[in-house]
Amino acid sequence: MYAFINLLSAWMIPAIIAFIPLYGAFRKVPVYETFTEGAKEGFGTAISIIPHLVGMMVAISMFRASGAMDFITGAMEPLLRYIGIPGEVLPLALLRPLTGAGSLAFTSDLIATYGPDSMIGRIASTIQGSTDTTLYVLTVYFGAIGIRRTRYALKVGLFSDLVGFVAAVFICLYIFG
Amino acid sequence: MVNWIWLFFIVISVVVAAATGRMDAVTQAAFDGAKNGVTICFGLISILVFWMGLMRIAEDAGLLARLARLLSPLVRLLFPDVPKGHPAMGYIMSNMSANILGLGNAATPMGIKAMQELQKLNPNPDTATPAMCTLLALNTSSITLVPTTLIAIRMNYGSVNPAEIVGTTLAATAVATIAAIALDRWYRHRQPPLAPPTAEQPLGKQEHRSAGLLRSRGSGKRPAT
């Protein structure tokens, strides 16, 4: 099963890269010209995201460096322990919606410290794998098209992160416990 | 809300830094963060240019339209306000498929393309439409079948069974996605989107919240899903 999954993920991207132009040629699309025509848009889109991402990354980076994150974690840890959640994974709940690279680094650190097959290692892996970086996704997707009023999108994203975190913890405790 | 979160992060950081004496670190972090943001965007250039080129072929060849038709009932349920056969549907489908298959760097360009198509349907270009919010909800909770990065990390640290988290991850991500869709639905019905205020609405606000919810579901102009 594991070998099959590995093989599948190794073949998926090249298969798609070959299949799309092949299908295009079959349907008489001038594949190379169409590719360059579409690709032109990519540059402008990436550049238009810069201001949004810089703004977000500055705020998140300051927040982490100031120690505010540790403060919040420290305050909440006893409460979590009380309901049976290992406090070590709490920073991950706060990091995960904010920074993909930061939470991945933290997850690797937990896995290195407690071992991949420990309960903490399993919970951390599950949390990291089960949701995406909400603030990043919001910044990039809405930044690319210039949306300023995001309405309820952020609330929905953060709520689902919270649900995902709680679900990950209790599913792991139940399955591996 | 983004405005407040942003302001909160910056002000709290400075206040906490003042209390803990980490002012230098916070200053450094501000500039590192800015640099990081630009670096990420530069990394995105190659990915966006490449996938947007490839996706244009898929669009012109009619592949996206086919993909959209394939799972049309599901997508119509989630995006009732996107007209049938609109190109946004194809991109939404390819974005969802890329997420499910764990093709992270393909999912982002497709999602952005989908957003750009949805923006063409937006009467109010600086405000997110309900369809955009739904697409965002799907992407933030991102259903992934196989979390390849994590399996690799677990392997690195000598796990006996690196893939044992596939099942738990899938279960957790399914719960998170269902929660996201449910809340998104709830907001959609609670705030009639982009419709100019009608004479009925002030009355509705005085009613009990759940009564208002039922009422807007029952008499909404949008077909119930």
Residues of chain A with pLDDT under 50: none
Residue A43 covered by a domain: yes
Residue ranges of domains in chain B:
44-189
Least CB-CB distance to B22: which of A65, A152, A168?
A: A65
Query: In chain A, which residue's Cα lies nearest the Cα of B27?
Result: A62
A74 shares a domain with A44 = no
A156 shares a domain with A92 = yes
In sequence order, the β-bridge partners of residue B127 are A149
Residue B59 has pLDDT above 70, yes or no: yes
Kindly report, residue by residue over A42-68, the tens digit of the pLDDT: 999 999 999 999 999 999 999 989 988
Q: How many domains does one find in chain A?
A: 2
Query: In chain B, which residue's Cα lies nearest the Cα of A127?
Result: B169
Whether residues A9 and B148 touch (CB distance < 8 A) is answered with yes
Distance from CA of B219 to the nearest CA of A (A): 22
A35 shares a domain with A111 = no
Which residues of B are less than 8 Å from A122 in CB distance? 164-165, 168
Residue A126 covered by a domain: yes
A152 shares a domain with A73 = yes
Query: In chain A, which residue's Cα lies nearest the Cα of B125?
Result: A147
Whether residues B36 and A62 touch (CB distance < 8 A) is answered with no
Residue A109 covered by a domain: yes
Residue A116 covered by a domain: yes
Residue A35 covered by a domain: yes
Distance from CA of A87 to the nearest CA of B (A): 19
Range of the domain at A95: 67-176
Residue B222 has pLDDT above 50, yes or no: no
Residue A29 covered by a domain: yes
Query: How many angstroms separate the Cα of A3 from the Cα of each of A6, B101, B151, B155, B162?
Result: 5, 16, 12, 13, 11
A41 shares a domain with A89 = no
Distance from CA of B182 to the nearest CA of A (A): 9
Kindly report, residue by residue over B198-211, the tens digit of the pLDDT: 444 444 444 344 44
Distance from CA of A127 to the nearest CA of B (A): 7
A89 shares a domain with A126 = yes
Give me the interface pTM, i.e. the ipTM.
0.86
Residue A77 covered by a domain: yes
Cβ-based neighbour number of residue A47 at 10 Å: 14
